[in-house]
Amino acid sequence: MFFVNKIKFNNVIINNSFKGINNYKDLKQNTVDIYKLQRQQDDEINQFKTTPNNALLSKISKNLNLPVDNVVSLSPIRFKISTMIMNQGVSVYHHELRKVITPHDDYERAKRRELVEKIEAEQMKKDMKSNEKGDGNKGGGKKLMSMEKEFELVREQEREQSHFNQLLESQSPQWNAIGQLQIPKEDAFYYDDLFVGFCPYSSDGNKDDPMSLLYQMLTRLSKFYWHKNQTKYEMFFTLKLNQMFINYFMQDETLIYNPQEISKFIELFENCNDQSVLNELIQHPESVENQEIVNYVKMNFGRLSSENYSVIFETLFRDGKDYFSSVESYKQHLLSLFNEILFSATAMLPETIINKEKELKEKWDLLLLEANRQFKVYSCFGTSPEPEKSLATDQRKLLHLVKTCQKKSTLDFIQECKRNLHQSLFSNGLMNSSLTNRELSVSIKQITDGLQTSISTSYTMLEFVFQNSGEISLKWDDFIVGFINSPMIFSSQPLAERFMQYLKSRLGGDGNSTYEQGIVKLFQEMVQLEHTLFKLQQSYNDDYIINGDKLLQELSIELQEELQEEDYKKFLVYPSSNYKMVQLDCHLLAPLHKSFSQDLDVEQQEMEIYIRNKKIYERELKTRNEKLVKLVSDAVSTQQKTCYFIGVFEDQAYTVEISENWMDIWYKLKAHPSPIPLLEFLNSNLTSQDTIKNTLFDLNKFGILYLLHRV
C-alpha cells in the first residue's frame, strides 16, 4: 500500500480490494473492509517506521525537515498525512526561527530617522561654530526660526517614537519568562501559508490550536478558497467547510475510522450550504469556533484583497491545485481529500518532483512575506507619513520580482530578490531550504532573545565564558548556529532545556576537557537556581495574599540589632513560604549569580563613558573580565556542597548562603502550621540553638523568618 516509485515501503504486498468511499450510503456494506483497511495501514506503517537502517525514512525526514525521531513518533494516520504534504513540496519550518513582520520592517522610517539624526548633528556643529565666532547675536530672527524648527522636529520624532514603541509591544514576537515565543495572533497562523509551522509548546491534542503540527498539516493539504472579488461571507463559508474537514481528523484517532463517524461527517458536509451555516451562526452566536472564524476574516480579508496578494495568486498560483476560486470545486476537493486520507494508498513521489514543488513554494513564500510586509507597514502600522508614495515604489519592485519568478531561473530570481528585498526576509525557518545562502540573522536573534529572557543570568555567564575564558575552542556564534541546526531545537521541552541538552552534547562528553564538563554542570545549577527563583516570584505575585505571607510580612518586625537572651520570650517565629531551601554542589553560585545578573555590556559602556583615558579604560575592563574568569574557574574546580535560601522579599530576589545545620531546623519549623514562640522553638532544638541565634538577625532582615511581637 505504501510505496516509493512503485517500490514498496516493505516487502509485504497487500492486495486491498476496498475502493474507497464517495458517499455515506456505501458504508453499510463496507464496514468490515474499513476496519480491515485501517489495521492493514497501521501495521504496514508501524513496520516501516521500525525497520532498522531505513534509508527511505531518512529521506522522508529530510524532505519534511523533521528529525527522524519526530517522524517515527507520528501515529500511522499522521504519518500518512505527513507523506501527503511532503509529496506537494511542503516541509516544516520552526516557529522560533522564522521571520515575523514587525514595525521595524518600515524601512522608510529607518531612513527618515537617519536623515533627522544627520540634520540634527549638522545643525549642532553649525551652532557650535557660530558660538565660537562670537556672532551668536547676529541674525537673531534666523537663529530663532532654526531653533523652532529643530524643537518641532524633536517633538514630532517623540510622538512618532511613542507610537512606534506601542506598536512594537503589541505587534512583535515576545518571549515569556518560561521560554515560549508568543507571536501576535493575527500573524501566528494563515490558512494561505505554504509551509507547516512547528511550535514546540503547542498540543496536537487540542483541536482548537491552529499552531499544532497536525492542524497545520491538514490546512496545507486542504489549501484555501480565494478569488479577487470574494466577499467576506464567501471567505467565512469556505473557512467553515475547511474547519469541518480539519475537526474530523483532529478528533480522537480511535473514532476516525468509525463508520458511524464517517457517515455523520459526509452527511453533514454534503448538506452544508450557505443557508445552514447562516442559521447556525445566528442561532449559536456563542460558538467559539464561529467567533474565531469571523475574527480571522476580520483580520485577514484586507490582506487577501490587497493588490499585492492578488498579483501573486493570479500570476503564480495554480487555480485548482494551490487554491480554489469556486466554492463547489473547493467543497469537492475537501471530500476527495477526506477519502484519500482514509482509504487511498500513499506513494512517495520521486524526489525531483518533490524538490521542484518545494523550490516553487519557497520562492512564492518569499514574495508573500514581502507582500505581507507592505500590507502591514502601509495599511496597518501607520508609521509612514506618505504611505501611498512609498507603497507605489515597493509595489513596482514586488511586481518586477513576480515577473522574474514567472519567467526567469531560480538563480536569477534569488539575485533579483537580494537586490530588492531586505536580507531578513530570507529567514524562512526552513533548515533544508533550497534557496542559496540561507539567512540566519533573524533566527539567531530570536533564539538568543529567548534565552536571555528565560535564563538571563545563565546565558550571560555562558556567553562570557565562551568569549573570555580561553578554555573553550568553540566560537560562541558557531555554537548558537549549531544549536539552531540541531535536532534538539525540535524537542517539545522549554527552550532552556533544549539548549542545555545541546550544551551537554557538545561539551559534556568523555572527550571534553574537565573544564568544559565543569561548565556544563555549573550552567545546569545556575539554570536550576533561576527556575527556582522564577517559580517563587510567580507564587509571590499570584498567591501572595492567599497564603498569608503578605499579612505576616506587614506585621513582622525588622530587627535593628541582635536579640538578647531576655528578648527571645517576647517573639513568635514563622518561616516565609516565599523562600525555598536548596542544597547545591557549587558554593560560589550566589556570587556568580550576583555578578552575571548585571548587564555586562551596559556596564562596559558606562566604563567607557566615565573613563575618558583609553588605556585606563582598557586596563579596568581587563581587570573586571579577569576577576569574572577566575570566579568561574574557581566555581568549576572547587566543587563544594552548600545550602542556600532562595526566594523573594519585597519584590527582590535573594540567594542567601546558609549553614547545612539549617536543613533540619528549617524542615522542623515548616512542619508547624502556625507561628510558635521563639523561645519554645529554641528549647526544642538544643543542639542547634547557637546556629539559630547566630543567623536570626540576617534571616529576619531578608524576610526568611518573620518575627511577631507577642502581646
Contact 327, 238 (CB under 8 A): yes
Question: Which residues, in sequence order, are CB contacts of 704 under 8 Å at separation 6+?
Answer: 575, 576, 579, 645, 647, 649, 656
Going from the C-alpha of 536 to that of each of 171, 526, 558, the distances in angstroms are 30, 15, 22
Report pLDDT for 304.
97
pLDDT in tens, 234-254: 999 999 999 999 999 999 998
Quick one: how many helices (H) and strands (E) in the chain? 30, 13
Report pLDDT for 197.
94
The pLDDT of residue 8 is above 70:
no
Report pLDDT for 62.
92
Closest CA to 184 of 51, 372, 29, 457: 372
pLDDT in tens, 255-268: 999 988 998 999 89
Distance of CA 353 to the CA centre of its chain: 32
Question: Which residues, in sequence order, are CB contacts of 536 under 8 Å at separation 6+?
Answer: 578, 579, 580, 646, 647, 648, 653
Contact 262, 242 (CB under 8 A): no
Report pLDDT for 120.
62
Question: Which residues, in sequence order, are CB contacts of 105 under 8 Å at separation 6+?
Answer: 373, 376, 377, 422, 424
**pLDDT grade, residue 132 (50/70/90)?**
low
- With a pLDDT cut of 70, the percent of the chain lying above it is 87
641 Ramachandran zone, left/alpha/beta (phi>0; psi -120 to 50)? beta
Instruction: Please state the φ and ψ torsions of residue 93, each to the nearest 5 degrees.
Output: -105, 160
Instruction: Please state the φ and ψ torsions of residue 45, each to the nearest 5 degrees.
Output: -65, -45
In whole angstroms, give the CA distance from residue 240 to residue 191: 12
Q: Packing angle between helix 387-407 and helix 307-315, nearest 10 degrees? A: 10
**pLDDT grade, residue 17 (50/70/90)?**
very low
Question: Which residues, in sequence order, are CB contacts of 190 under 8 Å at separation 6+?
Answer: 300
Residue linked to cell 549549531: 482
User: What is the average pLDDT across 41-65?
Assistant: 89
Closest CA to 199 of 185, 209, 184: 209
pTM for this structure? 0.84
User: What is the average pLDDT across 490-504?
Assistant: 93
Between these two residues, 288 and 11, which has the higher pLDDT value? 288
Task: Of 120-129, 190-199, 314-323, 358-367, give the lowest mean pLDDT range.
Answer: 120-129
**pLDDT grade, residue 143 (50/70/90)?**
very low
User: What is the average pLDDT across 107-126?
Assistant: 68
What letter would DSSP give residue 490? G
Three-state secondary structure readout of 250-292: HCCHHHHCCHHHHHHHHHHHHCCCHHHHHHHHHHCCCCHHHHH
Q: Using alpha carbons only, give the angle 112, 116, 118 rounded to the nearest 5 degrees.
A: 115
Closest CA to 523 of 592, 429, 435, 583: 592
Distance of CA 17 to the CA centre of its chain: 47
User: What is the average pLDDT across 361-385?
Assistant: 92
pLDDT in tens, 388-443: 888 999 999 999 999 999 999 999 999 999 999 999 999 988 887 877 566 788 88
The pLDDT of residue 682 is above 80:
yes
